[in-house]
Structure 1
Amino acid sequence: MSLQAPIISIITVTYNAAKVLESTIQSIIKQTFTHYEYIIIDGGSTDGTVDIIRKYANHISYWVSEPDKGLYDAMNKGMQAARGEYIWFMNAGDEIYDQHTLAHLFASAQQDADIYYGDALFFTQAGEVTGLRSEVTPHKLPNTLTWKSLQHGMVVCHQSFIARKTIAPLYDLSHPYCADVDWEIKCLKQAKEVVHTGLILSRYLTGGFSKKNLYKSLLDRFAVLKSHYGILTTIQSHVWITLRGALFVLKRKGGY
Protein backbone atom coordinates (compact mmCIF):
# COMPACT_ATOMS: atom_id res chain seq x y z
CA MET A 1 0.00 0.00 0.00
CA SER A 2 1.07 3.60 -0.54
CA LEU A 3 2.46 5.60 2.40
CA GLN A 4 -0.22 8.16 1.58
CA ALA A 5 -3.20 7.81 3.88
CA PRO A 6 -5.86 5.61 2.24
CA ILE A 7 -9.31 6.96 1.50
CA ILE A 8 -11.04 4.07 3.22
CA SER A 9 -10.16 1.47 5.84
CA ILE A 10 -11.97 -1.83 5.31
CA ILE A 11 -12.04 -3.87 8.50
CA THR A 12 -12.82 -7.56 8.86
CA VAL A 13 -13.44 -9.03 12.30
CA THR A 14 -13.25 -12.79 12.50
CA TYR A 15 -13.12 -15.73 14.88
CA ASN A 16 -12.96 -19.38 13.80
CA ALA A 17 -14.41 -18.46 10.41
CA ALA A 18 -12.12 -20.43 8.10
CA LYS A 19 -15.10 -21.66 6.07
CA VAL A 20 -16.22 -18.17 5.05
CA LEU A 21 -13.28 -15.79 5.43
CA GLU A 22 -11.62 -16.37 2.05
CA SER A 23 -14.61 -15.14 0.06
CA THR A 24 -14.64 -11.96 2.13
CA ILE A 25 -10.96 -11.33 1.49
CA GLN A 26 -11.29 -11.99 -2.23
CA SER A 27 -14.20 -9.56 -2.56
CA ILE A 28 -11.95 -6.84 -1.16
CA ILE A 29 -8.67 -7.50 -2.94
CA LYS A 30 -10.46 -7.73 -6.31
CA GLN A 31 -11.69 -4.13 -6.07
CA THR A 32 -10.76 -2.02 -9.09
CA PHE A 33 -10.44 0.98 -6.75
CA THR A 34 -7.20 0.45 -4.85
CA HIS A 35 -6.84 3.47 -2.56
CA TYR A 36 -7.85 1.51 0.53
CA GLU A 37 -6.23 -0.35 3.38
CA TYR A 38 -7.39 -3.72 4.60
CA ILE A 39 -7.35 -4.67 8.27
CA ILE A 40 -8.20 -8.05 9.80
CA ILE A 41 -8.77 -8.48 13.52
CA ASP A 42 -8.93 -12.13 14.54
CA GLY A 43 -9.91 -13.25 18.02
CA GLY A 44 -7.32 -16.00 18.33
CA SER A 45 -8.83 -18.57 15.97
CA THR A 46 -7.82 -22.22 16.13
CA ASP A 47 -9.59 -23.56 13.02
CA GLY A 48 -7.25 -22.53 10.19
CA THR A 49 -8.44 -18.93 9.95
CA VAL A 50 -4.93 -17.63 10.60
CA ASP A 51 -3.55 -19.79 7.79
CA ILE A 52 -5.97 -18.09 5.39
CA ILE A 53 -4.94 -14.66 6.67
CA ARG A 54 -1.26 -15.53 6.13
CA LYS A 55 -2.08 -16.75 2.61
CA TYR A 56 -3.26 -13.24 1.71
CA ALA A 57 -0.80 -11.33 3.91
CA ASN A 58 0.58 -9.34 0.96
CA HIS A 59 -2.89 -7.83 0.44
CA ILE A 60 -3.46 -7.00 4.10
CA SER A 61 -2.23 -3.73 5.58
CA TYR A 62 -2.47 -4.87 9.18
CA TRP A 63 -3.65 -7.98 10.96
CA VAL A 64 -3.56 -9.46 14.43
CA SER A 65 -4.74 -12.70 15.98
CA GLU A 66 -5.23 -12.56 19.73
CA PRO A 67 -7.98 -13.10 22.31
CA ASP A 68 -10.44 -10.24 22.69
CA LYS A 69 -13.55 -9.37 24.68
CA GLY A 70 -15.95 -10.17 21.86
CA LEU A 71 -17.16 -8.85 18.53
CA TYR A 72 -17.35 -5.16 19.36
CA ASP A 73 -14.05 -5.13 21.22
CA ALA A 74 -12.47 -6.55 18.07
CA MET A 75 -14.19 -3.90 15.95
CA ASN A 76 -12.79 -1.22 18.25
CA LYS A 77 -9.31 -2.63 17.72
CA GLY A 78 -9.87 -2.35 13.98
CA MET A 79 -10.98 1.27 14.25
CA GLN A 80 -7.98 2.14 16.40
CA ALA A 81 -5.62 0.63 13.82
CA ALA A 82 -7.33 2.35 10.87
CA ARG A 83 -5.64 5.23 9.01
CA GLY A 84 -8.32 5.85 6.40
CA GLU A 85 -10.65 8.79 6.10
CA TYR A 86 -13.63 6.42 6.13
CA ILE A 87 -14.40 3.21 8.04
CA TRP A 88 -16.19 0.22 6.51
CA PHE A 89 -16.78 -3.06 8.36
CA MET A 90 -16.96 -6.15 6.20
CA ASN A 91 -16.89 -9.04 8.62
CA ALA A 92 -16.05 -12.66 7.92
CA GLY A 93 -18.59 -14.20 5.55
CA ASP A 94 -19.83 -10.86 4.20
CA GLU A 95 -18.60 -9.47 0.89
CA ILE A 96 -18.37 -6.21 -1.01
CA TYR A 97 -21.11 -6.46 -3.62
CA ASP A 98 -18.88 -6.60 -6.71
CA GLN A 99 -15.38 -5.63 -7.84
CA HIS A 100 -16.46 -2.16 -8.99
CA THR A 101 -18.36 -1.12 -5.86
CA LEU A 102 -15.67 1.11 -4.38
CA ALA A 103 -14.93 2.67 -7.76
CA HIS A 104 -18.61 3.52 -8.25
CA LEU A 105 -18.87 4.86 -4.71
CA PHE A 106 -15.97 7.27 -4.99
CA ALA A 107 -16.79 8.28 -8.56
CA SER A 108 -19.90 9.95 -7.17
CA ALA A 109 -20.25 13.69 -7.53
CA GLN A 110 -20.80 13.85 -3.76
CA GLN A 111 -17.32 12.83 -2.65
CA ASP A 112 -17.11 14.52 0.73
CA ALA A 113 -20.02 13.12 2.71
CA ASP A 114 -19.74 12.07 6.34
CA ILE A 115 -21.74 8.90 5.73
CA TYR A 116 -22.51 6.81 2.65
CA TYR A 117 -25.14 4.09 2.75
CA GLY A 118 -26.88 1.68 0.42
CA ASP A 119 -28.63 -1.67 0.23
CA ALA A 120 -27.39 -5.18 1.01
CA LEU A 121 -27.99 -8.42 -0.87
CA PHE A 122 -28.76 -11.32 1.47
CA PHE A 123 -27.35 -14.77 0.83
CA THR A 124 -27.05 -18.03 2.79
CA GLN A 125 -23.93 -20.02 3.63
CA ALA A 126 -24.94 -22.41 0.85
CA GLY A 127 -24.58 -19.49 -1.58
CA GLU A 128 -28.30 -19.05 -2.24
CA VAL A 129 -29.31 -15.41 -2.83
CA THR A 130 -32.46 -14.58 -0.87
CA GLY A 131 -32.90 -10.99 -2.07
CA LEU A 132 -32.25 -7.37 -1.16
CA ARG A 133 -32.56 -6.51 2.50
CA SER A 134 -35.05 -3.75 1.68
CA GLU A 135 -37.27 -6.35 -0.01
CA VAL A 136 -36.97 -9.51 2.09
CA THR A 137 -37.20 -7.80 5.49
CA PRO A 138 -39.59 -5.15 6.83
CA HIS A 139 -36.72 -2.64 6.85
CA LYS A 140 -37.22 -0.23 3.97
CA LEU A 141 -34.12 1.76 3.10
CA PRO A 142 -34.99 5.45 3.57
CA ASN A 143 -34.14 7.95 0.87
CA THR A 144 -33.11 10.36 3.61
CA LEU A 145 -31.33 8.79 6.56
CA THR A 146 -31.02 10.59 9.91
CA TRP A 147 -30.39 9.41 13.45
CA LYS A 148 -34.14 9.49 14.05
CA SER A 149 -34.64 6.92 11.25
CA LEU A 150 -33.30 4.18 13.53
CA GLN A 151 -36.01 4.57 16.17
CA HIS A 152 -37.89 2.01 14.07
CA GLY A 153 -35.00 -0.44 14.02
CA MET A 154 -31.83 -0.85 12.02
CA VAL A 155 -33.12 0.41 8.69
CA VAL A 156 -29.68 0.20 7.06
CA CYS A 157 -27.42 -2.85 7.16
CA HIS A 158 -24.19 -2.30 9.08
CA GLN A 159 -22.20 -3.73 6.14
CA SER A 160 -23.71 -1.09 3.85
CA PHE A 161 -22.93 1.86 6.12
CA ILE A 162 -19.66 3.76 5.64
CA ALA A 163 -18.71 6.51 8.10
CA ARG A 164 -16.03 9.17 8.23
CA LYS A 165 -13.57 8.13 10.92
CA THR A 166 -13.59 11.51 12.66
CA ILE A 167 -17.30 11.21 13.52
CA ALA A 168 -17.22 7.51 14.43
CA PRO A 169 -16.97 6.66 18.15
CA LEU A 170 -15.72 3.39 19.54
CA TYR A 171 -18.40 0.77 20.08
CA ASP A 172 -20.06 0.81 23.47
CA LEU A 173 -19.21 -2.56 25.02
CA SER A 174 -22.06 -2.24 27.51
CA HIS A 175 -24.31 -3.25 24.59
CA PRO A 176 -22.98 -6.74 23.74
CA TYR A 177 -25.61 -7.49 21.06
CA CYS A 178 -26.66 -4.17 19.54
CA ALA A 179 -23.65 -1.89 19.83
CA ASP A 180 -23.80 -1.58 16.03
CA VAL A 181 -27.24 0.08 16.26
CA ASP A 182 -25.93 2.45 18.90
CA TRP A 183 -22.85 3.18 16.76
CA GLU A 184 -24.86 4.03 13.65
CA ILE A 185 -27.12 6.38 15.63
CA LYS A 186 -24.11 8.15 17.16
CA CYS A 187 -22.45 8.50 13.74
CA LEU A 188 -25.63 9.93 12.26
CA LYS A 189 -25.97 12.41 15.11
CA GLN A 190 -22.53 13.77 14.23
CA ALA A 191 -22.94 13.69 10.45
CA LYS A 192 -23.50 16.89 8.47
CA GLU A 193 -23.96 15.20 5.10
CA VAL A 194 -25.38 11.71 4.59
CA VAL A 195 -25.53 10.31 1.06
CA HIS A 196 -27.79 7.55 -0.21
CA THR A 197 -25.53 6.00 -2.85
CA GLY A 198 -28.31 4.18 -4.68
CA LEU A 199 -25.94 1.21 -4.78
CA ILE A 200 -25.98 -2.30 -3.44
CA LEU A 201 -22.85 -2.05 -1.32
CA SER A 202 -22.57 -5.46 0.27
CA ARG A 203 -23.51 -9.11 0.19
CA TYR A 204 -24.61 -10.07 3.69
CA LEU A 205 -24.31 -13.62 5.04
CA THR A 206 -27.47 -14.31 7.03
CA GLY A 207 -27.64 -16.16 10.33
CA GLY A 208 -25.02 -14.13 12.18
CA PHE A 209 -24.28 -13.13 15.76
CA SER A 210 -27.48 -11.24 16.59
CA LYS A 211 -29.69 -13.81 14.87
CA LYS A 212 -28.23 -16.56 17.05
CA ASN A 213 -28.93 -14.49 20.18
CA LEU A 214 -32.31 -13.11 19.14
CA TYR A 215 -33.99 -12.67 22.53
CA LYS A 216 -30.96 -11.01 24.14
CA SER A 217 -30.55 -8.87 21.02
CA LEU A 218 -34.11 -7.60 21.29
CA LEU A 219 -33.59 -6.62 24.93
CA ASP A 220 -30.32 -4.91 24.11
CA ARG A 221 -31.89 -3.08 21.17
CA PHE A 222 -34.61 -1.77 23.46
CA ALA A 223 -31.95 -0.44 25.84
CA VAL A 224 -30.06 1.23 22.99
CA LEU A 225 -33.14 2.90 21.55
CA LYS A 226 -34.33 4.03 24.99
CA SER A 227 -30.96 5.72 25.60
CA HIS A 228 -31.37 7.79 22.41
CA TYR A 229 -35.12 8.32 22.04
CA GLY A 230 -36.54 7.99 25.56
CA ILE A 231 -38.77 5.32 27.08
CA LEU A 232 -42.12 6.47 25.66
CA THR A 233 -40.91 6.81 22.07
CA THR A 234 -39.12 3.47 22.33
CA ILE A 235 -42.23 1.66 23.55
CA GLN A 236 -44.27 3.24 20.76
CA SER A 237 -41.59 2.31 18.23
CA HIS A 238 -41.54 -1.32 19.36
CA VAL A 239 -45.31 -1.56 19.04
CA TRP A 240 -44.95 -0.15 15.52
CA ILE A 241 -42.03 -2.53 14.75
CA THR A 242 -44.08 -5.52 15.91
CA LEU A 243 -47.12 -4.54 13.82
CA ARG A 244 -44.92 -3.80 10.81
CA GLY A 245 -43.27 -7.21 11.09
CA ALA A 246 -46.59 -9.03 11.40
CA LEU A 247 -48.04 -7.19 8.39
CA PHE A 248 -44.92 -7.94 6.38
CA VAL A 249 -45.19 -11.68 7.12
CA LEU A 250 -48.89 -11.71 6.22
CA LYS A 251 -48.22 -9.95 2.91
CA ARG A 252 -45.47 -12.40 2.00
CA LYS A 253 -47.66 -15.38 2.84
CA GLY A 254 -50.48 -13.87 0.82
CA GLY A 255 -48.23 -13.25 -2.16
CA TYR A 256 -48.97 -9.53 -2.47
Structure 2
Amino acid sequence: MFSPRLSVVTIVYNNVRDIERTIQSVINQTYSNIEYVIVDGLSNDGTLQVIDQYKSQITKFISEKDGGIYDAMNKGLALATGDYVIFMNSGDEFYDNETVAAVFAAAEDADIYYGETEMIADDGSSLGQRRHKAPAKFTWRGFKYGMSISHQAIYIRRSLAEPYDPRYQLSSDIDWIIRAAKKAKKIVNVNRYVAKYLVGGMSKKKHRQSLMERFEIMKQNYGLIPTIFNHFVIAFNLGWYWLKNRRTND
Protein backbone atom coordinates (compact mmCIF):
# COMPACT_ATOMS: atom_id res chain seq x y z
CA MET A 1 0.00 0.00 0.00
CA PHE A 2 1.30 3.44 -0.99
CA SER A 3 1.90 5.42 2.22
CA PRO A 4 4.61 8.05 1.72
CA ARG A 5 5.72 10.35 4.52
CA LEU A 6 4.04 13.75 4.34
CA SER A 7 5.62 16.84 5.86
CA VAL A 8 2.91 19.30 6.90
CA VAL A 9 4.38 22.74 7.57
CA THR A 10 2.50 25.43 9.51
CA ILE A 11 3.77 29.02 9.59
CA VAL A 12 2.36 31.22 12.37
CA TYR A 13 2.90 34.62 13.94
CA ASN A 14 0.57 36.08 16.59
CA ASN A 15 -2.52 34.12 15.54
CA VAL A 16 -3.85 32.77 18.82
CA ARG A 17 -7.39 32.85 17.42
CA ASP A 18 -6.79 30.31 14.62
CA ILE A 19 -3.69 28.23 15.39
CA GLU A 20 -5.49 25.56 17.41
CA ARG A 21 -7.97 24.87 14.61
CA THR A 22 -5.09 24.32 12.19
CA ILE A 23 -3.14 22.07 14.60
CA GLN A 24 -6.20 19.91 15.29
CA SER A 25 -6.87 19.60 11.57
CA VAL A 26 -3.38 18.11 11.15
CA ILE A 27 -3.16 15.85 14.22
CA ASN A 28 -6.66 14.43 13.67
CA GLN A 29 -5.84 13.04 10.22
CA THR A 30 -6.52 9.30 9.94
CA TYR A 31 -3.34 9.04 7.84
CA SER A 32 -0.53 8.26 10.27
CA ASN A 33 2.69 8.83 8.28
CA ILE A 34 2.80 12.59 8.88
CA GLU A 35 5.69 14.75 10.03
CA TYR A 36 4.36 17.98 11.52
CA VAL A 37 6.60 21.07 11.43
CA ILE A 38 5.58 24.40 13.00
CA VAL A 39 7.58 27.57 12.42
CA ASP A 40 6.62 30.47 14.70
CA GLY A 41 7.87 34.03 14.19
CA LEU A 42 8.34 34.75 17.92
CA SER A 43 4.67 35.23 18.79
CA ASN A 44 3.77 37.08 21.98
CA ASP A 45 -0.05 36.90 21.98
CA GLY A 46 -0.60 33.46 23.52
CA THR A 47 0.06 31.47 20.33
CA LEU A 48 3.06 29.73 21.89
CA GLN A 49 0.99 28.59 24.88
CA VAL A 50 -1.55 26.97 22.52
CA ILE A 51 1.22 25.22 20.56
CA ASP A 52 2.78 23.99 23.81
CA GLN A 53 -0.40 22.05 24.61
CA TYR A 54 0.22 19.90 21.51
CA LYS A 55 4.02 19.62 21.64
CA SER A 56 3.93 15.81 21.94
CA GLN A 57 2.18 15.62 18.54
CA ILE A 58 4.46 18.12 16.80
CA THR A 59 7.58 16.63 15.18
CA LYS A 60 9.65 19.81 14.86
CA PHE A 61 9.07 23.28 16.23
CA ILE A 62 11.05 26.51 16.11
CA SER A 63 10.17 29.99 17.35
CA GLU A 64 12.44 32.78 16.17
CA LYS A 65 12.33 36.08 14.33
CA ASP A 66 12.10 35.76 10.55
CA GLY A 67 12.30 37.99 7.50
CA GLY A 68 8.66 37.56 6.51
CA ILE A 69 6.31 34.75 5.54
CA TYR A 70 8.44 33.24 2.75
CA ASP A 71 11.58 33.30 4.89
CA ALA A 72 9.59 31.39 7.53
CA MET A 73 8.29 28.97 4.89
CA ASN A 74 11.84 28.35 3.68
CA LYS A 75 12.80 27.48 7.25
CA GLY A 76 9.92 25.00 7.34
CA LEU A 77 10.96 23.52 4.02
CA ALA A 78 14.53 23.08 5.28
CA LEU A 79 13.24 21.21 8.35
CA ALA A 80 10.96 18.92 6.31
CA THR A 81 12.19 15.37 5.64
CA GLY A 82 9.05 13.77 4.17
CA ASP A 83 8.52 12.40 0.66
CA TYR A 84 5.94 15.13 0.05
CA VAL A 85 5.36 18.57 1.53
CA ILE A 86 2.27 20.73 2.01
CA PHE A 87 1.89 24.11 3.70
CA MET A 88 -1.12 24.39 6.00
CA ASN A 89 -0.55 27.80 7.56
CA SER A 90 -2.28 29.14 10.63
CA GLY A 91 -6.01 29.54 9.96
CA ASP A 92 -6.07 26.95 7.17
CA GLU A 93 -7.28 23.36 7.53
CA PHE A 94 -7.44 20.02 5.79
CA TYR A 95 -10.97 19.62 4.46
CA ASP A 96 -11.76 16.69 6.77
CA ASN A 97 -9.98 14.00 8.81
CA GLU A 98 -9.78 11.63 5.81
CA THR A 99 -8.19 14.16 3.45
CA VAL A 100 -4.54 13.03 3.42
CA ALA A 101 -5.50 9.35 3.21
CA ALA A 102 -7.81 10.10 0.28
CA VAL A 103 -5.14 12.14 -1.54
CA PHE A 104 -2.56 9.34 -1.50
CA ALA A 105 -5.22 6.70 -2.28
CA ALA A 106 -6.06 8.57 -5.50
CA ALA A 107 -2.90 7.40 -7.31
CA GLU A 108 0.57 6.10 -6.50
CA ASP A 109 3.84 7.96 -6.83
CA ALA A 110 2.68 11.24 -8.39
CA ASP A 111 4.96 14.26 -8.34
CA ILE A 112 2.08 16.58 -7.47
CA TYR A 113 -1.40 15.95 -6.05
CA TYR A 114 -4.03 18.67 -5.98
CA GLY A 115 -7.70 19.23 -5.25
CA GLU A 116 -10.41 21.80 -4.61
CA THR A 117 -10.59 24.39 -1.83
CA GLU A 118 -13.45 25.73 0.27
CA MET A 119 -13.19 29.35 1.42
CA ILE A 120 -13.86 30.15 5.08
CA ALA A 121 -14.81 33.53 6.57
CA ASP A 122 -13.36 34.98 9.79
CA ASP A 123 -16.32 33.64 11.76
CA GLY A 124 -15.71 30.10 10.47
CA SER A 125 -18.67 30.06 8.09
CA SER A 126 -18.29 28.67 4.57
CA LEU A 127 -18.00 31.06 1.62
CA GLY A 128 -18.14 28.19 -0.86
CA GLN A 129 -15.73 27.23 -3.61
CA ARG A 130 -12.91 29.54 -4.76
CA ARG A 131 -13.63 31.68 -7.83
CA HIS A 132 -10.73 29.92 -9.55
CA LYS A 133 -11.99 26.34 -9.75
CA ALA A 134 -9.21 23.74 -9.75
CA PRO A 135 -8.62 22.62 -13.36
CA ALA A 136 -9.44 19.06 -14.44
CA LYS A 137 -5.82 18.76 -15.61
CA PHE A 138 -2.94 20.94 -14.44
CA THR A 139 0.46 21.76 -15.95
CA TRP A 140 2.91 24.59 -15.22
CA ARG A 141 1.16 26.65 -17.88
CA GLY A 142 -2.08 26.44 -15.91
CA PHE A 143 -1.53 29.60 -13.86
CA LYS A 144 -1.44 31.92 -16.88
CA TYR A 145 -4.99 33.10 -16.13
CA GLY A 146 -4.52 33.20 -12.35
CA MET A 147 -3.78 30.89 -9.44
CA SER A 148 -6.26 28.09 -10.15
CA ILE A 149 -5.05 25.83 -7.30
CA SER A 150 -4.71 27.22 -3.81
CA HIS A 151 -1.46 26.82 -1.90
CA GLN A 152 -3.20 24.70 0.77
CA ALA A 153 -4.52 22.25 -1.82
CA ILE A 154 -1.28 21.12 -3.46
CA TYR A 155 1.02 18.31 -2.32
CA ILE A 156 4.47 18.47 -3.93
CA ARG A 157 7.19 15.83 -3.97
CA ARG A 158 9.78 17.36 -1.66
CA SER A 159 12.67 16.66 -4.05
CA LEU A 160 10.98 19.01 -6.57
CA ALA A 161 10.30 21.78 -4.04
CA GLU A 162 12.94 24.49 -4.26
CA PRO A 163 13.12 27.35 -1.73
CA TYR A 164 10.68 30.24 -2.13
CA ASP A 165 12.12 33.23 -4.01
CA PRO A 166 12.57 36.05 -1.44
CA ARG A 167 12.26 38.71 -4.17
CA TYR A 168 8.50 38.24 -3.96
CA GLN A 169 6.94 39.22 -0.62
CA LEU A 170 3.31 38.32 -1.37
CA SER A 171 3.11 36.01 -4.40
CA SER A 172 6.15 33.74 -4.14
CA ASP A 173 3.85 30.73 -3.71
CA ILE A 174 2.73 31.10 -7.36
CA ASP A 175 6.34 31.11 -8.55
CA TRP A 176 7.11 28.15 -6.25
CA ILE A 177 4.29 25.99 -7.62
CA ILE A 178 5.10 26.84 -11.26
CA ARG A 179 8.77 25.89 -10.76
CA ALA A 180 7.81 22.55 -9.20
CA ALA A 181 5.18 21.85 -11.87
CA LYS A 182 7.75 22.44 -14.62
CA LYS A 183 9.77 19.49 -13.26
CA ALA A 184 6.78 17.25 -12.50
CA LYS A 185 6.14 14.22 -14.72
CA LYS A 186 2.94 12.99 -13.07
CA ILE A 187 0.32 15.44 -11.72
CA VAL A 188 -2.87 14.00 -10.22
CA ASN A 189 -6.21 15.70 -9.59
CA VAL A 190 -7.72 13.87 -6.61
CA ASN A 191 -11.21 15.16 -7.55
CA ARG A 192 -12.32 16.16 -4.09
CA TYR A 193 -12.17 19.07 -1.67
CA VAL A 194 -8.86 18.88 0.20
CA ALA A 195 -8.51 22.20 2.04
CA LYS A 196 -10.30 25.01 3.83
CA TYR A 197 -8.75 28.40 3.22
CA LEU A 198 -9.19 31.34 5.60
CA VAL A 199 -9.92 34.32 3.35
CA GLY A 200 -7.78 37.43 3.87
CA GLY A 201 -4.04 37.56 4.42
CA MET A 202 -1.40 40.04 3.31
CA SER A 203 -1.98 39.57 -0.43
CA LYS A 204 -5.53 40.92 0.07
CA LYS A 205 -4.37 43.83 2.27
CA LYS A 206 -1.60 44.79 -0.18
CA HIS A 207 -3.51 43.90 -3.32
CA ARG A 208 -1.64 46.26 -5.69
CA GLN A 209 1.80 44.91 -4.70
CA SER A 210 0.48 41.35 -4.97
CA LEU A 211 -0.83 41.98 -8.50
CA MET A 212 2.47 43.56 -9.58
CA GLU A 213 4.40 40.56 -8.28
CA ARG A 214 2.02 38.16 -10.05
CA PHE A 215 2.48 40.05 -13.31
CA GLU A 216 6.27 39.80 -12.95
CA ILE A 217 6.12 36.05 -12.19
CA MET A 218 3.85 35.39 -15.16
CA LYS A 219 6.04 37.54 -17.44
CA GLN A 220 9.10 35.49 -16.38
CA ASN A 221 7.34 32.20 -17.11
CA TYR A 222 5.00 32.93 -20.01
CA GLY A 223 6.57 35.98 -21.73
CA LEU A 224 5.57 39.67 -21.73
CA ILE A 225 3.10 39.79 -24.66
CA PRO A 226 1.16 36.63 -23.66
CA THR A 227 1.00 37.91 -20.06
CA ILE A 228 -0.46 41.27 -21.14
CA PHE A 229 -3.05 39.44 -23.28
CA ASN A 230 -3.82 36.98 -20.47
CA HIS A 231 -4.45 39.87 -18.06
CA PHE A 232 -7.16 41.17 -20.38
CA VAL A 233 -8.72 37.70 -20.20
CA ILE A 234 -8.37 37.69 -16.39
CA ALA A 235 -10.06 41.12 -16.18
CA PHE A 236 -12.90 39.98 -18.44
CA ASN A 237 -13.41 36.76 -16.46
CA LEU A 238 -13.42 38.67 -13.18
CA GLY A 239 -15.97 41.17 -14.48
CA TRP A 240 -18.19 38.37 -15.80
CA TYR A 241 -17.91 36.48 -12.49
CA TRP A 242 -19.07 39.49 -10.45
CA LEU A 243 -21.85 40.32 -12.90
CA LYS A 244 -23.12 36.73 -12.87
CA ASN A 245 -23.02 36.55 -9.07
CA ARG A 246 -24.73 39.90 -8.69
CA ARG A 247 -27.56 38.65 -10.87
CA THR A 248 -27.76 35.46 -8.79
CA ASN A 249 -27.92 37.45 -5.56
CA ASP A 250 -30.41 40.07 -6.77
Question: TM-score range with shorter-chain normalisation?
Answer: over 0.9
Pick one of 125, 130, 134 that aligns with 1:128. Answer: 125
Letter of the 2:193 counterpart: I
Instruction: Confirm or deny that 1:187 pairs with 2:184.
Output: no
Instruction: Confirm or deny that 1:196 pairs with 2:189.
Output: yes
Identify the residue that residue 213 of structure 1 maps to in structure 2.
206
CA distance in 2, matches of 1:6, 1:192: 18
Aligned-residue sequence identity (percent) comes to 41
Letter of the 1:180 counterpart: D
Identify the residue that residue 17 of structure 1 maps to in structure 2.
15
Structure 1 unaligned regions, length at least 5: none
Asked whether the equivalents of residues 116 and 133 of structure 2 are also in contact (C-alpha less than 8 Å), the reply is no
Shift of 1:140: 2.6
Pick one of 229, 239, 248 that aligns with 1:246. Answer: 239
CA distance in 2, matches of 1:95, 1:55: 18
- Tell me which stretches of 4 or more aligned residues in structure 1 moved more than 6 Å: none
CA distance in 1, matches of 2:96, 2:197: 12
Q: Secondary structure at the match of 1:18?
A: coil
Q: Secondary structure at the match of 2:113?
A: strand
CA distance in 2, matches of 1:112, 1:254: 44
Instruction: Confirm or deny that 1:152 pairs with 2:145.
Output: yes
Shift of 1:154: 0.3
Q: Which residues of 2 match residues 82-97 of structure 1 at below 5 A? A: 82-97=80-95
Asked whether the equivalents of residues 6 and 37 of structure 1 are also in contact (C-alpha less than 8 Å), the reply is no
Equivalent pairs counted in the alignment come to 247
Structure 2 unaligned regions, length at least 5: none
Shift of 1:111: 1.4
Pick one of 166, 185, 197 that aligns with 1:173. Answer: 166
Asked whether the equivalents of residues 6 and 83 of structure 1 are also in contact (C-alpha less than 8 Å), the reply is no
Letter of the 1:41 counterpart: V
CA distance in 2, matches of 1:168, 1:111: 19
Shift of 1:107: 2.0
Shift of 1:106: 1.9
Shift of 1:6: 6.2
Identify the residue that residue 65 of structure 2 maps to in structure 1.
67
Shift of 1:197: 0.4
Q: Which residues of 2 match residues 217-232 of structure 1 at below 5 A? A: 217-232=210-225
Q: Secondary structure at the match of 2:220?
A: helix
Pick one of 105, 109, 112 that aligns with 1:115. Answer: 112
Shift of 1:41: 0.4
CA distance in 1, matches of 2:188, 2:25: 23
Question: If the length of structure 2 is used for normalisation, what is the TM-score?
Answer: 0.97
RMSD over equivalenced CA pairs, Å? 1.2
Instruction: Confirm or deny that 1:39 pairs with 2:37.
Output: yes
